[in-house]
Amino acid sequence: MIYTITPNPAIDIIVYLEGDLTHEKNNITREKYVDLGGKPTHVSAILEQLGDTANKATGFSGELNKAELVAIFDRYQMNHEFIDIAEQRTRESIIVVNNSGGSYMITERGLKVSDNDKEKMYAYVKENIRPDDIAVVGKPAQGFSVGDFRYLIRLLKEQKAYVACDVASEYLNVAIEENIDFVKPNKHEINDLFPGDEPVHQKLNRICDKVPNAVCSLGSEGALYKVENTFYQVIPPKVEVKSDTGAGDAFVTGYIYGVANGYDVSDRVKWGVLCSASKVQHYSSCQINKDNFEFIENNLKIYEVR
Ligand code: ATP
Ligand code: MG
Ligand code: MG
């Protein structure tokens, strides 16, 4: 079973303007839609589209607008079991997209969890996560400290799960220190972790010593990964990009799908690229189309990096 754990999910409200956002003017919208925000939930939504992989989305959700969140989960036919936080709302993020391109994101800090809420999550992990399960963990909510995050990771490891985290800064540091199984910093996240002009693959190598499956994603330039003692860069073909929001989550999904199916590292990375280079061809942050896979697979390039 693949569990995605989203401590601070979000409801994204995407607003397309007729023009560009202008100060002291009535900015008329052209289109508006609601989508899933909060990274690991994207992984569950995309796993459903890949099919054949048992998975469940969990985490915390606000009791007051639970129905709105569940309506989006249902749209992606997700299997979910969230811990309700009483008298709170799951955060909403407003994304304003200019007609000429470019966007503004306005977001709430989201759920504030109590010690009792955290205990419920730890109990859920102890009761449900079994050896050989995979857990994809996202960035904590307010009230969930870096220390609590470390505790959660240790608990998942005690349950003998394969632990994957798509987090940045201090949380990425903890994930590495705790020797989890998979991290996927992007270029900016790895440069934040290791400032300086050392080549990116050497920065990645510092993580590989501690995290056996570490990949660095490079946006349209693909991803860097290590097999035995050699580094490779896989580069997706040029595709028509509608939105790269959620590209990283789609990459994580493909990689984890490969782990669940026993693929080797090169094939896991290939699946990461298939999902993410398909995702960027859609506006939704968690929509892929398997019909895109054949073109991507036949046109991706792999180079050795020295
Ligand atoms: P997120 O915004 O979801 O956190 P990220 O910054 O973590 O994303 P990126 O490095 O931007 O992740 O992209 C992840 C993957 O998505 C890349 O490895 C690549 O396969 C794919 N991808 C991103 N941008 C493009 C693009 N313009 N064309 C094709 N593929 C892309
Ligand atoms: Mg990016
Ligand atoms: Mg990312």
CATH of the domain at 155: 3.40.1190.20
Closest atom, ligand 1, to C-alpha of 241: 27
- 208 — pLDDT class (breaks 50, 70, 90): very high
Q: What distance in angstroms lies between residue 36's CA and the mean position of ligand 2's atoms? A: 18
Give Cα separations from 30 to 16, 37, 96, 98 (angstroms).
5, 21, 11, 10
CA 136 – CA 44 distance, rounded (Å) = 9
Neighbour count for residue 77 (Cβ, 10 Å): 10
With 90 as the cut, is the pLDDT of residue 38 above it? no
Q: Could you read off the pLDDT of 95-133 as tens digits, one per residue?
A: 999 999 889 999 999 999 999 999 999 999 999 999 999
Residue 256 belongs to domain spanning: 2-305
Q: What distance in angstroms lies between residue 185's CA and the mean position of ligand 2's atoms? A: 10
pLDDT at residue 284, rounded to an integer: 93
Element (H, E) at 171: helix 169-177
Angle between helices 39-50 and 265-279 (to 10 degrees): 100
pLDDT at residue 52, rounded to an integer: 81
- 298 — pLDDT class (breaks 50, 70, 90): very high
Angle between helices 169-177 and 146-158 (to 10 degrees): 30
Number of domain units in the chain: 1
With 90 as the cut, is the pLDDT of residue 228 above it? yes
Ligand number nearest CA of 167 is: 3
Q: What distance in angstroms lies between residue 70's CA and the mean position of ligand 3's atoms? A: 24
Nearest CA to ligand 1 atom 14: 248
Residues with CB under 6 A from ligand 1: 186, 217-220, 222-223, 236, 239, 241, 244-249, 251, 273, 276-277, 280
pLDDT above 90 covers what percent of the chain?
98
**What mean pLDDT is predicted for residues 78-95?**
97
Interface confidence (ipTM) of the complex: 0.99
Strands, sheet with 213-214, edge to edge from the N-terminal-most edge strand: 80-85, 55-62, 2-6, 134-137, 162-165, 182-183, 213-214
CA 254 – CA 234 distance, rounded (Å) = 14
Average of per-residue pLDDT values in the chain: 96
